[in-house]
Amino acid sequence: MSIRVPCPCLVPAFGCLPATTHFAQAADITSPAQLTLVGPNGQAAHIFPTIAQYNKLHAVAPDTGPLNYHGGPVMSGPVQLYTIFWSPPKLQTGAASGLPASYVTILNTLATTYPDHGIDNNNTQYYSVSGSKTTYIANAGGHSGSFQDKAAYPASGCSDSVTPGNCLVDSQIQAEVAHAMAVNGWTGGLTKMFLVFTDPGEGSCFTSSSSSCAYTSYCAYHSYFFSGSGEPVIYGNEPYGDPNHCQASGTPSPHGNAAADTAATAASHEISEAITDPELSSWYTLAGSEIGDLCAYIYGTNTWDGGLANQMWAGTFWELQMEWDNHFNGCVQVGP
């Protein structure tokens, strides 16, 4: 079931239209429906749960699919990915900050190679319907821009218990996306996704109530807002990769960089979900899971890089979670 909820003007320069969502907010995840958060003013996001929350959810209410189409749009593509590295010299507490150059390189490489490779091919079975026209997702696209923003973080708007004093709310993430778009001349639309990566030690919560936060509730999430011209702006909040909260124990690191590899699988999860469910109204199960949720923290067989990786894209090895295949009725590494 989908419901209409009002959407606040979170980014003044962009305006707002009503948002579509289908679930309610909860901090302690005990059903797939609670993977979609809804703020007090109607803004919505779909989260990738921490490993602890996933294990709790899987024990209480495992979802076995399939994905069902609910009438909304998909990112039919070619999909253009944009990376935003928000990395000022200091955190909000004044502590020194910064993203390692290798971390930035690895995640830019992911954005470059995700389109037109194995997991993206799995998306091609999903589609949208408008009138009598059915449009399937294309396995195509690229990395269309990267922006490293050294501007200071705004005052902390929430309280993430894992990162005391350093916390961004969703409206601040949206404002950073809008800022990056304005600075670089980027535009929105259903063929573009903007990924916001933040520093080690910088947390976030969906709202100022601090009931759903990075590292305790989620490892990343995807959402959208509307530009002043009415185009949807699809984005992902990508907190710094923390293997202690956002990776299964014993998962290998093909890059020898556990934080970057943890962030890469979270980003891959969000990209796949945004492509198939950009406005939270398209492909999800009757219980509320999206394409990545059904296969969270499941990697399959590591046949690459001496057993350290399950994907090899353009000569680079990756350890990325599998995604749900409706044809196969299960999780796959490569699509149909």
- Which pLDDT score, from 0 to 100, does residue 20 have? 35
The pLDDT of residue 3 is above 90: no
Q: Measure the CA–CA gap between 137 and 128, rounded to whole angstroms.
A: 8
| Per-residue burial over 228-240, b = 16 or more CB atoms within 10 Å of its CB, e = otherwise | eeeebbbbbbbbb
| 3-class secondary structure, 319 | coil
Q: Which residue has the tokens 């009002």?
A: 6
In the structure encoding, which two tokens stand for residue 13, read together?
A: 């320069």
- Which pLDDT score, from 0 to 100, does residue 22 have? 35
- Which pLDDT score, from 0 to 100, does residue 210 have? 95
How many Cβ atoms from other residues are within 10 Å of residue 91's Cβ? 23
* Contact predicate 177/149, CB 8 Å: no
* Closest C-alpha among 196, 296, 221, 216 to residue 37: 221
* Contact predicate 215/245, CB 8 Å: yes
| 3-class secondary structure, 129 | strand
- Which pLDDT score, from 0 to 100, does residue 41 have? 84
> Taking residues 195-203, what's their average pLDDT?
98
| 3-class secondary structure, 145 | strand
Q: Measure the CA–CA gap between 227 and 318, rounded to whole angstroms.
A: 34
> Taking residues 286-290, what's their average pLDDT?
98
- Which pLDDT score, from 0 to 100, does residue 40 have? 86
> Taking residues 158-182, what's their average pLDDT?
98
Q: Counting Cβ atoms within 10 Å, is residue 132 exposed (0-12), middle (13-18) or buried (19+)?
A: exposed
Rounded to the nearest 5 percent, the helix, strand and coil shares of the chain are 25, 25, 50
Please write the tens of the pLDDT for every residue from 91-127.
999 999 999 999 999 999 999 999 999 899 999 999 9
Q: Measure the CA–CA gap between 307 and 301, rounded to whole angstroms.
A: 8
* Contact predicate 156/191, CB 8 Å: no
Query: Would you list the domain boundaries of the chain?
Result: 3-332
- Which pLDDT score, from 0 to 100, does residue 27 have? 61
* Closest C-alpha among 257, 266, 314 to residue 103: 257
Please write the tens of the pLDDT for every residue from 296-328.
999 999 999 999 999 999 999 999 999 999 999
Please write the tens of the pLDDT for every residue from 75-94.
998 999 999 999 999 999 99
Q: Measure the CA–CA gap between 39 and 44, rounded to whole angstroms.
A: 6
Q: Measure the CA–CA gap between 49 and 56, rounded to whole angstroms.
A: 10
The pLDDT of residue 279 is above 60: yes
Please write the tens of the pLDDT for every residue from 240-254.
999 999 999 999 999
The pLDDT of residue 230 is above 50: yes
Calculate the alpha carbon distances from 158 to 23, 173, 209 in Å.
Answer: 23, 12, 7
* Contact predicate 202/153, CB 8 Å: yes
- Mean predicted lDDT score pLDDT of the chain: 92
The pLDDT of residue 6 is above 90: no
The pLDDT of residue 193 is above 70: yes
Please write the tens of the pLDDT for every residue from 11-65.
333 333 333 333 333 467 999 999 999 988 899 999 999 999 999 999 999 999 9
